[in-house]
Amino acid sequence: MKTIMTISVVVGMITISACSLMAEDNDAGSAIKTQRIQQKQERQEQIQQQKQENKEFRKSTTELKGTEKTDTIVQHRETQYQENKAFIQQQHGENMAFLKEKLAKNTKLTDTQKSELSTFFESQYQENVSFRDKQHSENIAYFESVANDSTLTMDQKKSKLKEYITKQKAETKGHIQQQQSERKAEREKIAPNK
């Protein structure tokens, strides 16, 4: 869940930082800041809501054992994943509408540059969607394989899952750094003097 929200934050910042490239006055800068603050608050609320749901969910599964518990956990994670996906899609839509509004008012960029910016940010968003989908599928498959491995003790299962999550965090960090580099190159291409 934190990975998904991290990528969501990055996507939001991508779009909003593009707007800052195009800001022609302080009003545009304050609009960008307001947009960032609002979306950050929405993300925090989403995270808190899911933390509460997870807490209640854990209490409700204490009596379950074996594959029944595994299946219930997988279903819960899938439900939350779909909620997060819809939430991120909604924020992306807001960011793209904000970007297009700012681009329409911008007189410094050509129509080609404006189109390239919109296409670039949409492309990065789609890369993030693919990345999250791939990670989610891998997570579910790995979780099920570890949970259903009767040769492992509970401590061994926890250890394997912890190791897997650490590896996945590194992959996510690499993905985010790659996108940051791409954004920097795009900014340099569009506004080389800034």
pLDDT digits (tens, 9 = 90+) for 40-58: 999 999 999 999 999 999 9
Sign of the dihedral through C-alpha 149, 152, 158, 163? negative
Average pLDDT in the chain: 86
The pLDDT of 142-161, averaged and rounded, is 93
Q: Which residue has the higher pLDDT, 78 or 32?
A: 78
Rg (CA), the chain: 20
Alpha-carbon span 168 to 1, nearest angstrom: 12
Domain span at 160: 2-190
| 8 A C-beta contact, residue 100 and residue 92 | no
Largest distance between two CA atoms of the chain: 66
Give residue 22's pLDDT: 47
Give residue 30's pLDDT: 83
Give residue 187's pLDDT: 84
Alpha-carbon span 116 to 120, nearest angstrom: 6
The total of other beta-carbon atoms located within 10 Å of residue 67's CB is: 12
pLDDT category of residue 2 using cuts at 50, 70 and 90: low
The pLDDT of 80-84, averaged and rounded, is 94
Please tell me the total count of domains within the chain: 1
Whether the pLDDT of residue 23 is over 50: the answer is no
Q: Which residue has the higher pLDDT, 28 or 73?
A: 73
Give residue 5's pLDDT: 53
Whether the pLDDT of residue 132 is over 70: the answer is yes
Helix axes 66-105, 26-60, angle to 10 degrees: 170
| 8 A C-beta contact, residue 128 and residue 10 | yes
The pLDDT of 29-33, averaged and rounded, is 82
Whether the pLDDT of residue 181 is over 70: the answer is yes
Whether the pLDDT of residue 26 is over 60: the answer is no
Q: Global pTM? A: 0.76
Alpha-carbon span 73 to 79, nearest angstrom: 10
Q: Which residue has the higher pLDDT, 35 or 21?
A: 35
pLDDT above 90 covers a percentage of the chain that reads 66
Give 31-38's long-range contacts (Cβ < 8 A, gap of 24+). 31/98, 31/102, 35/94, 35/95, 35/98, 36/12
Give residue 9's pLDDT: 52
Q: Where are the alpha helices (DSSP H) in the chain?
A: 2-22, 26-60, 66-105, 111-147, 154-190
